[in-house]
Structure 1
Amino acid sequence: MGLSLRERDRRAELVRRAMRAQGLHALVVAGSTMRKGHLQYLTDYTISFDSAYLVHPLEGEPTLFVFTRNQEQHARRSWVSDARFSPDYGRDIAERLRELGASGKGVGVVGLDVMSAQVYCTIQEQLPQARLADAGEIIMAARALKSEEEAALIRESAVMADGAYAAAQGRVRPGAVDHEVFAEMDYYLKQHGVIEAFNLATAEPLPAFPYLPVGQTLRDGEAILLEITPRYQGYYAQLTVAAPIGRRSAEREQMVRVARGALEKGVEQLRPGRRACDVAVAMKAVVEAAGFTMPQRGGHGVGLEVDEPPALIPQNERPLQEGMSVVVHPSVVIPGRGGVFLGGSYLVTRDGCEKLYKSELQ
């Protein structure tokens, strides 16, 4: 990743300030190939296989435990100089915590959704006096507000999404197959140094939301729903479109117009002081006034993970803050007859928001 040591120190201080406030002597941060954001935030290390764990003390140097010797070599290129292969995560984490004097003190656990029960139980057994507590919100709160360095990488990821969509459009024509379009997106991204992406491509009949390609032949007058989410140097941005195949039907044109109108109204609410629910409610009102439904979330946060808080749903009253990065993507659906799903990535700024994509949403 193209992040500076100053960025490393900013993050460490932010997290340690929260640790002091909660009386925590150390954090144990779990990560996996599916949930790597928390660990990567503090290490600048990308998990390529299985899992990894970080012991992050209030004072002193952190220790990164990885799954193989090969990963150990790569981990030593990260922000953490003390990177170790571990054949037994629970035992080695407990031993490191003991060395740090954590027995009898508060130890925060980050990533309980990915930490194995075996690792957790071993730590409990070997450090029975340690007070284990869920500390996931410490890292999530820090991750929610992006620094300028992080914002720069998300902007570049959005550029990559635009490029991948432009490449895919060359394949969107009657007679093509959905996986050919999918391959064009993937090829473009890998050509431009994006090794990992969360991409979807679903052709009609009846798609309302994108999914993986299934070998569907594209037919004139229909659409292929694309979700393009490159991970550029650790950070995701997302673009969602309903690319027309030949000439679009009148019903589909109406859906696209309504989706664009809903997106416009939602983005008007995307500013500090407004709430996540304000964005969702504004979009839902436009969609339902036109006689359609909006059954899915109106969007979500994006950054080190594809899907982060805040969820843009009517029930979420979380305030929006400067520095948040979000995907706004209203859906316009006729149950049983399909729909469209349009949107892209934005940064919440002091006075509103910054649109990160340049593609025309179709």
Structure 2
Amino acid sequence: MSDYEFDYASRIQKVRALLERLELNFIIITNIQNLYWLSGTAQYGVLLLSAKEKPALFIRRNFFKAKEEAYIENIIEMKKTSQVKEFILKLTKSLDNLRIGMELDSLPASFYIYYKKMLNGAEITNIELDVRKLRMIKDQKELDLFKKAGKIAQKAQERILEVLKPGIKEYEVAAEVIYEAIKNQSVHFSNVNNTFGENWFIVASGKNLWTPSYFPILSGEGLSKAIPYGYSVREIRKGDIIMCDYAINYRGYHADHARTFYVETYPEGFKRKYRILKNAYEEIKQDYLKAGTKVSEIYHQMKNILKKEGLDKFFQGDGYYYQGLGHGIGLELDEPPAILPNNDLELKENMVIALEPKIIIPGWGAIDLEDNFIIKSNNAEQITNTLYLFE
């Protein structure tokens, strides 16, 4: 075993407490991010937890690397998945009436069918959201990594100001942003729901600002119909609004940062709308970003402020499609809590959230301001600090 950066014993104890609260006999962890969070390795495998027995880490690939990296002592080379069943049977003698928790939101359907058949007689229950919620409150080492990721995100956004000019294309702006991020040790993909390799990297200008395609709502057009979101071949012109939303992944931990710019001059109404959104954002940061606030209240208060300015119809959407105001970040780009109008989960100290207020006005443009915050008892520490316009 190597030197450990995190308190894995405490994390495992949290999952065991969950196991007992849900009255489970075993928990089987297959989600990559949860495997890493609990064991210290993201090698391909399965982690088996029970109330009293030592955790068992089954590694299919790379067994030797996992032995070097993992906190778990009991590491078993997995030649076939049925070894997990055999291990359980050594402890219980029978699968009948066992209750086993698994992460069913991220487990492929074919895997679920296999496990269901292999563990015939046991009840399999979904614990995905429960485990993800255990990761919401970060420890100090994680917070240090977030701060570093935030600085990289800021450098990537600031690069746009250095290259933005009439005639440059969206994909050329994107290339500069990506290069700046990678140069500072970010990988160009995000961890999303048990996968590596996704990144909803958006650079959008012109009609691409208000034309939803795929996901998210402010999606950009993309380079082709086969990949219908993100940066496109559109040439940026004088007077354009341009928005960049880019996720940093630094040593597994994310920053999610967006800014909106203009090219030499700005269109009619842009300065006023930008200031309205930014001032509303500042009010929310000052009054509501702190431990104890329900995330639904953040959403409703932001919308109410914009309603007074006649912009509530375009808050977080284009008048037809809408999305949430933000989300937690961590080992995955999007984690609980989702900042939605019907989510009454309370912010707690050392949660890390991305707050992304935006307005999208068809035929005119869009403004998107996204920053990341460490929640404190009486306020929040902003860790992405690219300058706003008109300051």
2:283 aligns with one of 261, 265, 273: 265
2:56 aligns with one of 25, 39, 62: 62
Is the alpha carbon distance of 1:340 and 1:3 closer, same or farther for their aligned partners in structure 2, counting shifts above 3 Å?
Answer: farther
**Distance in 2 between residues matched to 1:83 and 1:155, nearest whole Å:** 33
- Tell me if structure 2 keeps the 8 A contact 1:223–1:244: yes
- Tell me if structure 2 keeps the 8 A contact 1:275–1:317: yes
- Tell me if structure 2 keeps the 8 A contact 1:225–1:243: yes
**How far does residue 87 in structure 1 lie from its aligned partner after superposition?**
6.1
Any unmatched runs of 5+ in structure 2?
190-198, 211-217, 221-229, 318-322
**How far does residue 81 in structure 1 lie from its aligned partner after superposition?**
5.3
**Distance in 2 between residues matched to 1:184 and 1:133, nearest whole Å:** 45
* 1:12 counterpart residue number: 12
Is the alpha carbon distance of 1:4 and 1:332 closer, same or farther for their aligned partners in structure 2, counting shifts above 3 Å?
Answer: same
What amino acid maps onto 2:178 in structure 1?
Answer: D
* 1:278 counterpart residue number: 297
**Distance in 1 between residues matched to 2:156 and 2:18, nearest whole Å:** 39
**CA RMSD of superposed structures (Å):** 2.4
Alignment of 1:248-259 (within 5 A): 248-259=266-277
**How far does residue 75 in structure 1 lie from its aligned partner after superposition?**
3.2
2:175 aligns with one of 179, 183, 195: 183
**Distance in 1 between residues matched to 2:164 and 2:385, nearest whole Å:** 19
**How far does residue 330 in structure 1 lie from its aligned partner after superposition?**
0.8
- Tell me if structure 1 keeps the 8 A contact 2:49–2:55: yes
Matched, 1:111 2:106: no
- Tell me if structure 2 keeps the 8 A contact 1:261–1:286: no
**Distance in 2 between residues matched to 1:154 and 1:175, nearest whole Å:** 35
What amino acid maps onto 1:234 in structure 2?
Answer: G
What amino acid maps onto 2:112 in structure 1?
Answer: Y
- Tell me if structure 1 keeps the 8 A contact 2:5–2:141: no
* 1:355 counterpart residue number: 382
Identical positions, percent: 20
**Distance in 2 between residues matched to 1:114 and 1:347, nearest whole Å:** 27
**Distance in 1 between residues matched to 2:268 and 2:72, nearest whole Å:** 57
- Tell me if structure 1 keeps the 8 A contact 2:28–2:102: yes
1:218 aligns with one of 228, 236, 257: 236
**Distance in 2 between residues matched to 1:149 and 1:343, nearest whole Å:** 23
**Distance in 2 between residues matched to 1:3 and 1:312, nearest whole Å:** 36
- Tell me if structure 1 keeps the 8 A contact 2:205–2:242: yes
Matched, 1:98 2:89: yes
- Tell me if structure 2 keeps the 8 A contact 1:30–1:112: no
**How far does residue 320 in structure 1 lie from its aligned partner after superposition?**
1.4
* 1:42 counterpart residue number: 38
- Tell me if structure 2 keeps the 8 A contact 1:110–1:139: no
Give the secondary-structure state (helix, strand or coil) at the position aligned to 2:276: helix
**Distance in 2 between residues matched to 1:277 and 1:350, nearest whole Å:** 18
Q: Using structure 2 for the length normalisation, give the TM-score.
A: 0.82
